[in-house]
């Protein structure tokens, strides 16, 4: 059963027993307990969860999900893009967010990073709301995630070097020599050479734009990486090598990754779980095998078309 019902919070009152029971039965599959030893970076709260206070009657807080969207609704004019959307992503997951064009995937990513405020509901990142905690706290929170936007979104007037340096200059107080070392390190992480730093975005191939955008997303050493269509527009070879790069970086750095993609090869090669955005909510959340069994027009079309079956065979599914 992969229909997604987030677990009810202990503080939540009442509610319908049926859905609570269903949530409980799916929780072990969809939301495994987030143990401190789980791979996925050094979240301060994990340490807190592991050290109960002796003599205290307070319950030990569980490690919060890296992303938690609850009761999220989004309206543009008269159109509701999301209605009562719920999603929880735990540390160390590589989640592919799939859905039809215009279903609201990019909008959801923009809300997760605080570029857009939902009409209703709340998003927490690393257990904290994005807004309302003061400028310093927001600044610290923003350093914990990196984003690769749908079109790469490099600053066209800045060189590659200055694009990658941008978040370092914006959010950290570092001297230029340190910035230079860090930019070179990030370029090498995405397999670019120091001399590529001098190029302007207009001089880059599509694959290089993606690599530079990834280097910029990694600049602040994030724990959470959000990638919007990272392989769109790349030829199959470049797409494969970009997927390998993301996989090895996320494993090495212990990242939690949210990846929007239409590309089944990318999805199959990278994701540990799939979240299907349809009917204005997360319709299903689970493993590829679980999701593929669901009888829904979008899912059937996405995973069972002739093209899709070929792509899945290629990766042995």
Ligand X SMILES: Nc1ncnc2c1ncn2[C@@H]1O[C@H](COP(=O)(O)OP(=O)(O)OP(=O)(O)O)[C@@H](O)[C@H]1O
- Closest CB to ligand X among 97 and 125? 97
- Closest CB to Mg ion among 82 and 186? 82
- Closest CB to ligand X among 65 and 99? 99
- If contact means CB under 5 to 8 A according to the sort of partner, which of ligand X, Mg ion, none does residue 40 touch? none
Taking a C-beta distance cutoff of 8 angstroms, is the pair 270, 243 a contact? yes
Q: Nearest distance from residue 81's CB to Mg ion, in Å?
A: 11
- If contact means CB under 5 to 8 A according to the sort of partner, which of ligand X, Mg ion, none does residue 216 touch? none
- If contact means CB under 5 to 8 A according to the sort of partner, which of Mg ion, ligand X, none does residue 101 touch? ligand X
- If contact means CB under 5 to 8 A according to the sort of partner, which of ligand X, Mg ion, none does residue 104 touch? ligand X
Q: Nearest distance from residue 100's CB to ligand X, in Å?
A: 7
- Closest CB to ligand X among 36 and 114? 114
- Closest CB to Mg ion among 6 and 104? 104
- Closest CB to ligand X among 43 and 105? 105
The answer to whether 84 contacts Mg ion (rule: CB under 5 A) is no
CA-wise closest residue to 140 among 63, 222, 42, 225: 222
Number of residues that bind Mg ion (CB under 5 A): 1
DSSP string, the chain: --B--PPPPTT-----HHHHHHHHHHHHHHS----TTSSS---HHHHHHHSPPTT--SPPPPPPPSEEEEEEEEEETTEEEEEEEEEEE-TT-EEEEEE-TTSSHHHHHHHHTTSS--SEEEEEETTEESSSS-HHHHHHHHTTEEEE-TT----TTS-HHHHHHHHHHHHS---HHHHHHHHHHHHHHTT--GGGGG--GGGS-HHHHHHHHHHHHHTT--SEEEEESTTTT--HHHHHHHHHHHHHHHHHHT-EEEEE-S-HHHHHHH-SEEEEEETTEEEEEE-HHHHHT---HHHHHHHHSHHHHHHHHHTT-
What residues pair up with 225 in beta bridges, in sequence order? 146, 257
- If contact means CB under 5 to 8 A according to the sort of partner, which of ligand X, Mg ion, none does residue 81 touch? ligand X
- If contact means CB under 5 to 8 A according to the sort of partner, which of Mg ion, ligand X, none does residue 103 touch? ligand X
Stretch 94-133: interaction string toward Mg ion, x if CB under 5 A? ------------x---------------------------
Q: Nearest distance from residue 97's CB to ligand X, in Å?
A: 9
Footprint of ligand X on this chain (CB under 6 A)?
76, 81, 99, 101-107
- Closest CB to ligand X among 91 and 276? 276
Q: Nearest distance from residue 139's CB to Mg ion, in Å?
A: 27
Q: Nearest distance from residue 272's CB to ligand X, in Å?
A: 21
- If contact means CB under 5 to 8 A according to the sort of partner, which of ligand X, Mg ion, none does residue 111 touch? none
> Which residues touch 150 (CB under 8 Å, ≥6 apart)?
106, 228, 229, 232, 260
Give the residues lining the site for Mg ion (CB under 5 A): 106
């Amino acid at each position: 059963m992969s229909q997604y019902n987030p677990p009810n919070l202990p503080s939540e009152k009442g509610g319908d027993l049926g859905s609570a029971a269903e949530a409980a039965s799916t929780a072990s599959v969809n939301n495994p307990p987030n143990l401190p030893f789980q791979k996925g970076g050094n979240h301060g709260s994990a340490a807190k969860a592991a050290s109960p206070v002796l003599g205290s009657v307070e319950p030990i807080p569980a490690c919060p999900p890296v992303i938690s969207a609850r009761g999220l609704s989004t309206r543009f004019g008269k159109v509701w893009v999301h209605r009562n959307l719920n999603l929880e992503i735990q540390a160390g997951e590589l989640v592919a967010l799939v859905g039809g064009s215009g279903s609201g995937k990019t909008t959801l990513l923009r809300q997760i990073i605080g570029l857009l405020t939902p009409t209703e509901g709340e998003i927490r990142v690393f257990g904290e709301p994005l807004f309302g905690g003061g400028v310093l706290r927001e600044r610290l929170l923003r350093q914990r995630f990196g984003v690769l936007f749908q079109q790469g979104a490099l600053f066209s007037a800045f060189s590659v070097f200055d694009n990658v340096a941008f978040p370092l200059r914006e959010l950290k107080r570092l001297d230029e020599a340190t910035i230079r070392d860090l930019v070179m390190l990030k370029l090498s992480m995405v397999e670019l050479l120091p001399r590529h730093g001098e190029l302007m975005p207009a001089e880059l191939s599509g694959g290089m734009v993606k690599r530079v955008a990834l280097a910029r997303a990694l600049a602040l050493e994030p724990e959470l990486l959000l990638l919007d269509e990272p392989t769109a527009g790349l030829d199959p070879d470049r797409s494969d090598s970009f997927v390998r790069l993301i996989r090895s970086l996320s494993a090495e750095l212990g990242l939690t990754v949210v990846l929007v993609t239409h590309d089944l090869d990318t999805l199959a090669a990278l994701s540990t779980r799939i979240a299907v955005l349809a009917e204005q909510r997360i319709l299903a959340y689970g493993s590829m095998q679980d999701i593929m069994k669901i009888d829904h027009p979008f899912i059937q079309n996405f995973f069972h078309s002739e093209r899709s079956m070929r792509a899945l065979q290629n990766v042995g599914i």
